[in-house]
Structure 1
Amino acid sequence: MTYSGSNYRGAASVPPAGGSGGARVAAAAGGGPTRRGLIGSAIGLVASVAAAGGGFSVWSTANDANSDLDRAFDLGDLEDRPEDTPALNVLILGSDHREGNAEEDARSDTAMIMHVNEGGTEAYAISIPRDLYVPIPEDPDAAYYPDYTGTNAKFNAAYAWGGVNTTVKTVEALTGVRIDHIVEIDFNGLIEVVDALGGIDIDVEVPEGQDTVTSIHEPYREFSEGVNHLNGEEALDYVRQRKQYADGDFARMRHQQDLIKAIMDSALTAGVLTDRGKLTAFIESTSDAIKVDTDFNVVGTAIELMGLRSDDIVFMTTPNLGTGDQGGESVVIYADDPENPEASNPEAVSLWEALREDTMAEWVEDNPEAAGQDEGE
């Protein structure tokens, strides 16, 4: 299975009823979503759940959802981009934009690179901390504040200054990895997706020495340690929390990743797969909840990855040097010199090389701690 051509980057139709829908993926892609609840994999589940249903009307609903997606981003206008590769790299962004607010006031405090290898047998979701101090490339076409670009700043400044395209330029400059597609989801989108599933079960993490964590946002919900069943509003509230935890935004990124797993598990339960009404509601609500680029064949991609499970995804965070101060501002330090990270952050440099070369399995084996694979050992 190769992620190129019409199957993944162009328009596509769904297979006829009764089609197999693609091979089982041993380690499939995730996303996510979410300062605000980003759910990269939920997008793909629009079609993967439909594929499991198998009926013609379900296929039609999935195809309609693919056609009805808000295709807000055109990456074809970007110049001086990294070389294309057969692997699939999707940038998942979570926006705090709410209905009635100006687009330029929105922020994106969540970003994940979803990487699926050429063979479709491995998948990795790499979170980029919102406060990672990196070069923001000069971008005269930035949507809001082009004069601010061309300097070092927190990663989420790229979105605040120039929207999605400036963010893509920043990721590609940082990593040398070409971003094939974009998925963006906002507050309301997350709520709709979780509620369409009837809520999700998520294992709540509380601050050390406590039995609960209380939200800092109204209505100040209290979440108990352990598995909680949460609706959309509650799930969004939980994954927004960070100030109560010793490691702050790193805890929030963990919870975002947990949310992706919980959504996947809920969407793939027998109840969802056998309930036509719930399935249709999920597909339709997801199509309303996200924005993608003009060329992303969401349905075709998801059908190829329809065997994915939450345990298949390797989640990790961009290697960094921890928190520090930059001009009186608290940041996550990417490298002592962000424009020359080879000396002080070789782990990150080698990670991006592994993404470009599609050798992530070897990188994870060589860097188990950075990849979160040796916890509890």
Structure 2
Amino acid sequence: MTYSGSNYRGSASVPPAGGGGGGGARVAAAATGGGPTRRGLIGSGVGLVASIAATGGGLAVWSTANDTNTDLDRAFDLEGLPEENRPEPDRALNLLIIGSDAREDSEEGDARSDTTIVMHVNEAGSEAYGISIPRDLYVFIPEYADAQYYPEYTGDNAKFNAAYAWGAVPLTVLTLEDLTGVRIDHVVEIDFAGLVQVVDALGGVTMNIEAADADEYWDENGVTSIHGEHRYFEVGPNQLNGEEALDYVRQRKQWARGDFARMQHQQELIKAIMDSALSAGVLTDQDRLTSFIDSTSDAVKVDTEFNVVSTAINLMSMRSDDLVFMTAPNLGTGEQGGESVVVYAEDLDNPGDSNPEAVSLWEALREDDVAAWVAANPEAAGQGEEE
């Protein structure tokens, strides 16, 4: 088995603070009131809303942003998770971004986590790292009394996205924390409909389409969707609406890298969304800004303690080159119980023996020293690839 990461280093355009600014990633007042906490956000739909709101200026915009913060769907209570099994908080921010495959006609328990990114922002608020977790990564799923199939399935090894199917966001958080030893501070979830809504509110995004290179789908001129209307995407830069962008980033079979290609394209979409906010003039036009905030505030779900506005203010000094994307180091694809999986380690009880890169990455997150890890592991962090 060989290592297969297909990592990608991208950048998400984060506007500078008006008139300078700085501050760390630690301040984010709890949504329910009281003094500031140490948590924040960057690199998601909510982060985009917050960043735009904070830089737009004007009393009307500020009022709209605060209303948005109040009205967000606060569906996740991380404080209610069993504390005895959770890692200790650290002084950096670790945000879990989930893109679920839930649709309006989905039945409860049918949805899975189609996209999972751990966004780590250092304590100074000057660097951010997005680490994609393969949905087929073979990991340990902890016991969780509120899981749909408890106790039959939890407390055993399975594909990572089974955690979402069995226990939704809470079990996903517990699974990630068990895998990494890293405390998840906040959660942002967006489903398919929400993603379409965000992209369309910006008037579309520009994405650089990758030509299909898998044997059965080879096409040097573009790629054909295997879903729905079977759209054709020509290679190179394309302007996409919400449905088209969603369609493209859901594809995987058309590339030899499979799900790793899909994760790369999802990372690229985050960059495209934030770039589109700049090019569409959302930051400079109060009417567009207010319209965007109004039209996207119901596109996401967050945890009960997350404060959008104060977080944005504290991250305004972060620039595009400060965000680095990568994929969790793994041992490539393999087979387990007749299923194709992404192998995290040959021995899940001792992953350092066969996957020391992953173990050292999680340690770097815990120690808030990811920059040093990237410097020591440039290939794993995608630093050797063209952007």
- Which residue of structure 2 aligns with residue 142 of structure 1? 147
Letter in 2 for 1:74: D
Query: For residues 68 and 297 of structure 1, do their structure 2 counterparts lie closer, same or farther at Cα, with a shift above 3 Å needed?
Result: same
Query: Does structure 1 retain, via aligned residues, the 8 Å contact 2:126–2:322?
Result: no
Partner deviation per Cα, 1:154-186 (whole Å, 9 max, x = no partner) = 000000111110000000000000000000000
Whole-Å separation in 1 of the counterparts to 2:68 and 2:317: 20
Q: Offset of 1:309 from its aligned partner?
A: 4.3
1:210 aligns to 2:230 (yes or no): no
Query: Does structure 2 retain, via aligned residues, the 8 Å contact 1:91–1:112?
Result: yes
**Structure 2: runs of 5 or more not aligned:** 1-22, 34-39, 214-218
Whole-Å separation in 1 of the counterparts to 2:232 and 2:280: 30
Match of 1:273 among 274, 283, 286: 283
SS of the aligned residue for 1:109 comes to strand
Whole-Å separation in 1 of the counterparts to 2:173 and 2:65: 28
Letter in 1 for 2:352: E
Query: Does structure 2 retain, via aligned residues, the 8 Å contact 1:30–1:125?
Result: no
Q: Offset of 1:277 from its aligned partner?
A: 2.8
1:82 aligns to 2:102 (yes or no): no
SS of the aligned residue for 2:220 comes to coil
Query: Does structure 2 retain, via aligned residues, the 8 Å contact 1:129–1:249?
Result: yes
Query: Does structure 1 retain, via aligned residues, the 8 Å contact 2:206–2:239?
Result: yes
Query: For residues 183 and 146 of structure 1, do their structure 2 counterparts lie closer, same or farther at Cα, with a shift above 3 Å needed?
Result: farther
Match of 1:334 among 344, 358, 363: 344
Q: Offset of 1:278 from its aligned partner?
A: 2.2
Whole-Å separation in 2 of the counterparts to 1:144 and 1:68: 32
Letter in 2 for 1:10: A
Whole-Å separation in 2 of the counterparts to 1:309 and 1:234: 28
1:157-176 matches, within 5 Å, as: 157-176=162-181
Query: Does structure 2 retain, via aligned residues, the 8 Å contact 1:202–1:258?
Result: yes
Query: Does structure 2 retain, via aligned residues, the 8 Å contact 1:265–1:309?
Result: no
Q: How does the TM-score come out when normalised to structure 1?
A: 0.90
1:1-377 matches, within 5 Å, as: 1-4=23-26, 7-8=27-28, 10-11=30-31, 30-31=42-43, 40=44, 42-79=45-82, 80=84, 81-143=86-148, 145-208=150-213, 210-269=220-279, 271-376=281-386
Partner deviation per Cα, 1:118-155 (whole Å, 9 max, x = no partner) = 01111100000000000001112224554310100000
**Structure 1: runs of 5 or more not aligned:** 14-27, 32-39
Query: Does structure 2 retain, via aligned residues, the 8 Å contact 1:112–1:127?
Result: yes
Query: For residues 63 and 146 of structure 1, do their structure 2 counterparts lie closer, same or farther at Cα, with a shift above 3 Å needed?
Result: farther
SS of the aligned residue for 2:301 comes to strand
Whole-Å separation in 1 of the counterparts to 2:318 and 2:124: 14
Partner deviation per Cα, 1:320-347 (whole Å, 9 max, x = no partner) = 0000011110000000012210100000
SS of the aligned residue for 1:253 comes to helix
SS of the aligned residue for 2:297 comes to helix
Query: Does structure 1 retain, via aligned residues, the 8 Å contact 2:41–2:312?
Result: no
Whole-Å separation in 1 of the counterparts to 2:350 and 2:151: 24
Whole-Å separation in 2 of the counterparts to 1:73 and 1:29: 16
Q: Among all aligned residue pairs of Structure 1 and Structure 2, give the percentage whose two residues are the same amino acid.
A: 69
Query: For residues 163 and 12 of structure 1, do their structure 2 counterparts lie closer, same or farther at Cα, with a shift above 3 Å needed?
Result: closer
- What is the number of residues matched between the two proteins? 352
Query: For residues 58 and 287 of structure 1, do their structure 2 counterparts lie closer, same or farther at Cα, with a shift above 3 Å needed?
Result: same
Q: Offset of 1:206 from its aligned partner?
A: 1.4
Letter in 2 for 1:285: S
Query: For residues 330 and 306 of structure 1, do their structure 2 counterparts lie closer, same or farther at Cα, with a shift above 3 Å needed?
Result: same
Q: Name the Cα RMSD after superposition.
A: 1.8
Partner deviation per Cα, 1:263-305 (whole Å, 9 max, x = no partner) = 0111123621223332122212221000000001122112222
Whole-Å separation in 1 of the counterparts to 2:345 and 2:311: 35
